[in-house]
Amino acid sequence: MIFRKKECVAMLLAGGQGSRLYALTTKTAKPAVSFGGKYRIIDFTLSNCVNSGFDTVGVLTQYQPLVLNEYIGNGLPWDLDRAFGGVKILPPYQGHDGADWYKGTANAIYQNLAFINRYDADYVLILSGDHIYKMDYSKMLDFHKSTGADCTIAVIDVPIEEASRFGIMSTNEDNSIYKFSEKPKNPDSTKASMGIYIFNRKKLADYLIADENDPNSSNDFGKNIIPAMLANGERMYAYPFEGYWKDVGTISSLWEANMDLLGSTPALNLNDESWRIFARHSASAPQYVGDSAVIENSNITEGCEIYGTVKNSVLGTGVKVMAGAHVEDSVIFGDCVIGEGATVKYSIIDTGVTVGAGASVGGERGDGAEIAVVGADIEIAAGATVEAGAMLSE
């Protein structure tokens, strides 16, 4: 084995169930949920790593790893099939002293300290697999080094009225953190943690070991590690990030993030040659748009065949929209068939779904309206109705 020290190892937390995505995560881990037509949520963090020059990424998996494991494979689509380093899947394992599931985010990293030590890394970048954003982590690492911090937390400015939904950092003028409050009722800052941390490796190891020895700890970065470090007066800095960032942990935020891709000047631009988002591609033919098709303000992926109407929607690979079908304000993942005369409105449709001819899914988008969700591989009978806000899973 050729050994080359890695300055920084990225650890991507991808084991969460994503229970607030309901039907979309019954068979799939959240990071492997489809996004934007041909991507999976995890593509954004993996692509950010590669584009930032970080070539060693551990992906911590636990919940429903089958699809995720297959998707990541040897890391080739992200150029992470490396002779030394690259992307490695890190599931829970049986050790000398017994076996344990990952009890929390901190415990997952604790159990894989050997992986980090193997590369003799000076820094550890902790990432979540459920955020959509484009970020140059190397700039954050430069910031971390320039401040001489033990821990740097990426933060984004959020509107004050939404601040109570996030972990909020209160900082001094030099961005050093003096207070961290998880979902505060009365926030005194608008700097929300993005769940992206850089630690000095030795400091992190010390805290993870101490945390593991505390039987009352819930082994979580936000609840335990960060507060403990602050309490001990470690050097902690907030790295301000500006740009598009979205936690897609809920049905409505996942839908919104997809809609942010639409239009000629989208909030999130995927046609950015300087920061490409890589994905594992399928060998599909180009999309075919038939004579009777009407397409407005939509993103459509290869392999699709469109004979009906598609408006304000994102369609994944290999979706067929038959003649007379009407798709509006919806996200359709891939390999779905929307039958003749069927209607799909304000919905998220998972992979492999068949909507029978004349069936109706979802309702009008508007104030108080809820998104209908159809889980993977469900067949909706011809003429059937799926109410607005319904949640169907097998």
Partner 1 sequence: MTAAGLIFSNIHDRSIPELTRLRTMASVPYGGRYRLIDFALSNMVNSGITKIGVITHYNYQSLLDHIGTGKDWDLARRSGGIKILPPYITAYENSASNKVYTSRLEAMMGAAHFINRCTEDYIVLSDCDVICNIDLSDVIEAHAQSGADVTFVTKRVDAEKTILGEQTALITADKNGRVIDFTEGKPSKGIVNICTNIMVMKRAYLSATIADAAAHGYTSFFKDIISRSLTRANYRTYEYDGWYACIGSLASYFDCSMQLLTDSARTALFGQKNRPVLTKVRNSAPTKYCEGSAIKNSLVADGCVIEGTVENSIIFRGVKVGKGTVVKNSILLQDTYVGSDASLNCVITDKNVVIRDGRNLSGHESMPFFIGKGGSV
- Confirm or reject binding of residue 367 to partner 1 (CB under 8 A): no
Residues paired with residue 294 on neighbouring β-strands, in sequence order: 309
Residue closer to partner 1, measured from CB, 182 or 296 = 296
CB of 257 to partner 1, least distance (A): 14
- Chosen residue from 113, 210, 267, 289 binding partner 1 by CB under 8 A: 289
- Confirm or reject binding of residue 299 to partner 1 (CB under 8 A): yes
Would strands 167-171 and 177-182 be described as parallel, antiparallel, or unpaired? antiparallel
Per-residue binder mask for partner 1 (CB under 8 A), 76-105, x = binder:
xx----------------------------
Residue closer to partner 1, measured from CB, 94 or 264 = 264
**Radius of gyration of the CA atoms of the chain, in A:** 22
The DSSP output letter for 224 is I
- Chosen residue from 122, 206, 260, 302 binding partner 1 by CB under 8 A: 302
Residues paired with residue 199 on neighbouring β-strands, in sequence order: 124, 151
**Under 8 Å between Cβ of 338 and 328:** no
- Confirm or reject binding of residue 290 to partner 1 (CB under 8 A): yes
Residue closer to partner 1, measured from CB, 92 or 318 = 318
Q: Looking at 8-16, 50-58, 167-175, 296-304, which segment touches partner 1 (CB under 8 A)?
A: 296-304
- Chosen residue from 148, 159, 233, 286 binding partner 1 by CB under 8 A: 286
Distance of CA 359 to the CA centre of its chain: 32
**Under 8 Å between Cβ of 310 and 321:** yes
**Coil vs helix vs strand at 392:** strand
Residue with tokens 């011809």: 382
Residues paired with residue 90 on neighbouring β-strands, in sequence order: 60
Would strands 294-296 and 167-171 be described as parallel, antiparallel, or unpaired? unpaired
- Chosen residue from 72, 168, 315, 348 binding partner 1 by CB under 8 A: 315
CA angle 275, 281, 285 (to 5 degrees): 120
Q: Looking at 279-287, 323-331, 345-353, 373-381, which segment touches partner 1 (CB under 8 A)?
A: 279-287
Measured in residues, the chain has a length of: 394
- Chosen residue from 298, 309, 351, 354 binding partner 1 by CB under 8 A: 298
**Coil vs helix vs strand at 156:** strand
- Confirm or reject binding of residue 263 to partner 1 (CB under 8 A): yes
- Cα separations in angstroms, 48 against 12, 51, 69, 128, 187: 12, 5, 19, 12, 30
Q: Looking at 96-104, 202-210, 216-224, 256-264, which segment touches partner 1 (CB under 8 A)?
A: 256-264
- Confirm or reject binding of residue 285 to partner 1 (CB under 8 A): yes
- Confirm or reject binding of residue 296 to partner 1 (CB under 8 A): yes
Residue closer to partner 1, measured from CB, 123 or 255 = 255
Per-residue binder mask for partner 1 (CB under 8 A), 22-51, x = binder:
--------------xxx-------------
- Chosen residue from 5, 173, 283, 366 binding partner 1 by CB under 8 A: 283
- Confirm or reject binding of residue 334 to partner 1 (CB under 8 A): no
Q: Looking at 58-66, 192-200, 235-243, 259-267, which segment touches partner 1 (CB under 8 A)?
A: 259-267
Residue 19: how many CA atoms within 13 Å on its side-chain side? 0
Residue closer to partner 1, measured from CB, 227 or 352 = 352
- Confirm or reject binding of residue 301 to partner 1 (CB under 8 A): yes
- Cα separations in angstroms, 32 against 11, 15, 39, 279, 283: 16, 10, 9, 11, 19
Structure tokens at 104: 């929390």
The DSSP output letter for 342 is -
Which stretches of the chain bind partner 1, using CB under 8 A?
36-38, 76-77, 262-264, 266, 270-271, 276-279, 281, 283-291, 293-302, 310, 314-315
